[in-house]
Structures are given as structure tokens and as C-alpha cells.
Amino acid sequence: MSTFSRDELKQKRVGVLLGGLSAEREVSLNTGAAVARALRGLGLDVVEVDVGKDVAARLVAEKVDVAFIALHGRYGEDGCIQGLLESMFIPYTGSGVLASAVGMDKVLAKQIFVAHGIPTPAYCTFRTAEEARAAVDALPFPFPVVLKPSREGSSVGVHICKTREAYLAAVEDTSKFAGSLLVEQFVKGREVQCGVLDDEALGVIEVVPEREFYDYTAKYQSGSGTRYLFPAPLPADQYERVNQVSLDAHRSLGCSGGTRSDVIITESGDVYLLEINTLPGMTETSLLPKIAAGRGIDFPSLCERLLMGASLKA
């Protein structure tokens, strides 16, 4: 779904927006640096813009014509920067304001998934730590449970709580982050991820972490021992089911460009969508680039394809 041709992009000043103000700043710096290198290697005029409170002035000063959003977390993945770029009439990569905002809010996204018949683990939410603690003996499902902040990414603030005591301790940490507290029924199974690019499911990769689950360390720390299997060694029907569920999630939120969905497959073969990432990581350990590479799309080509699809969505 290209908006720009290769020749048109070579006439543009490309701003790679990175860093930002969220808890995922370091990940974003890595993503942005990798993207900027790849785009420069394609002969494009690229400037890296570390996004702070002066971002609007920076975009004007740098004469940015088109933006590659390499941000993660609050203010970058949640519709905020998308709204600014819309108001400045600067085409940008990825999803628009609404899809970004809803995709970042795990509770709102789950409500849409349920409305579209997309399977997702049972859940409940609490506005404050006090509410979450008070409900410890009245949760609608047994331990273990998964506790996470509703508006963070990269597994920031996520805990698997096997006991009442672990839950109460985890509430303190999770409540430090953005959004309400989301408590999910723990679904045991294989962790897989599916990439969607321009309304096409690219395929499924299985993540085999050495840690208890695919947390922040497993995702971003070199030598974490995490293994990646592409294509995921699944029965054909399960593989296709993951592809379809991920594509359905992408479409249900009205996403654009590339997304990555986190999915669990139970021992009985049931598929559960955990969440969708509207701005997937683009570091050397990130999964969308690994999936794309498995389909013959190298990293520079993936970056170029995402940039060619940059547009205004409002």
C-alpha cells in the first residue's frame, strides 16, 4: 500500500523519530538508530530526531517532509505523536491516531477484540492499586494470573503471579506505570508472534525464552538465551489460525503499516490473542524483522516498505 515511490522518497527529508519520553526510551533509541542506518544505506536524506517536548520545533527546524516513527510506549505509540504529525501535515509511518491510541490501551483493545469474536484471555481491570489489592480474594479466575499496566509496552511492569502474596507484591510495581491495572487469566502454552505488513499476514515465529516468559530482558538483552523458530513448528491448521487471528486484530483496530501480535497456543491447540503492537520493535533482536527476513524481506527493504507507506490518516 505504497504512498511514495522510491524516487519520490529520494527527494524528501526523512525524519526518524526516536527516543522519546516513555519507559521504553532505550529500546526506541536502538530501533531508531537501526532504521536510520538502513535508510541512509538506501541513499535517503535522513535526520534523527530525539523526541522531547520541543519536537514540533525540531521538525520544523530540520525541514522534515516525512516521518518514520521509531518510538515506543507513551507519547509515541499511543496516538500523541501521530496527532501532532497530522496537524503539521507531515506523512508518517504506521497506524493513525485512533488505531494507535486504542492499540496502546490493552483494556480498550481487548473490548474491541471481544466484540469482533477474537479469542483473548479473560480479564478484569482496576483503576488504582488500592482497588486491585482489595479484590485479591474476589478475582473471577484462580491463580496464577498475569498483572500488567494497561498502557505500557515491551512487557514493562508485567508479572506472572502464582500466589496471593505474589499478586499483592506485584501490584505495587505495576501501579507505577501508565494506565489502569489489568489482571488476566494465565493461559499456559507456546508463545508465538505473528507479523502483519500492509494488511497481509507474514507468518508466525515461535519464541522460546529461557526465562519464565518473554519479558523485557528476554526481548532486548543480548545473550538472554531466547530462541526464535521461524516458521513456527506448528500444525498447519494452528499456523493458519494464528495468521488469521493476528490479521483480524490488525483490521479490527484499523491499523496501517506493520503490526505484530502476541499469541498463546494451548496444549489443546486453542489460540488466544494477548495483545497487538502497532509500532513493533525494529532492533536486531526484534521479531517483525525476523519474520520479514524469513519471508525474504531484508531489514533495509522492510524499512523502505514501511516508509513508502507513510501517509496522513485524518
DSSP β-bridge partners for residue 184: 123, 146
CATH code linked to domain 123-185? 3.30.1490.20
Residue 129, C-alpha cell as written in the block: 492499586
SS3 content of the chain, % helix, strand, coil (to 5): 35, 20, 40
pLDDT digits (tens, 9 = 90+) for 144-186: 999 999 887 657 789 999 999 999 999 999 998 878 999 999 9
Please say if the pLDDT value at position 191 is more than 90.
yes
Task: Provide, rounded to the nearest whole percent, the portion of the chain with pLDDT above 90.
Answer: 84
Q: Which amino acid is at 275?
A: E
Taking alpha carbons only, the member of 245, 120, 125, 117 closest to residue 193 is 245
- In the chain, what are the domain boundaries? 6-93, 103-119+188-301, 123-185
pLDDT number for residue 252: 98
Please say if the pLDDT value at position 218 is more than 70.
no
Taking alpha carbons only, the member of 117, 80, 104, 120 closest to residue 259 is 104
pLDDT number for residue 253: 97
CA pair distance 144, 135, nearest whole angstrom: 15
DSSP β-bridge partners for residue 145: 161, 185
pLDDT number for residue 310: 98
| pLDDT averaged over every residue in the chain | 93
Q: How confident is the model at residue 212 (pLDDT cuts 50, 70, 90)?
A: low
Q: In the predicted model, what is the mean pLDDT of residues 57-74?
A: 96
CATH code linked to domain 6-93? 3.40.50.20
Q: In the predicted model, what is the mean pLDDT of residues 17-26?
A: 91
Please say if the pLDDT value at position 117 is more than 60.
yes
DSSP β-bridge partners for residue 126: 181
- Asked whether this chain's domains 6-93 and 123-185 adopt the same fold, the reply is no
pLDDT digits (tens, 9 = 90+) for 249-289: 999 999 999 999 999 999 999 999 999 999 999 986 799 99
Contacts of 248 (CB under 8 A, 6+ apart): 116, 118
* Class (C level, CATH) for 103-119+188-301: alpha beta
Q: Which amino acid is at 279?
A: L
pLDDT number for residue 157: 83
Q: In this predicted model, which residue has the larger pLDDT, 82 or 215?
A: 82
> Would you name the residues annotated as active-site residues?
24, 154, 220, 260, 262, 275, 277, 281
pLDDT number for residue 153: 67
Edge-to-edge order in the sheet of strand 159-161 = 123-126, 181-185, 145-149, 159-161
pLDDT number for residue 179: 83
pLDDT number for residue 283: 81
Whole-prediction pTM: 0.90
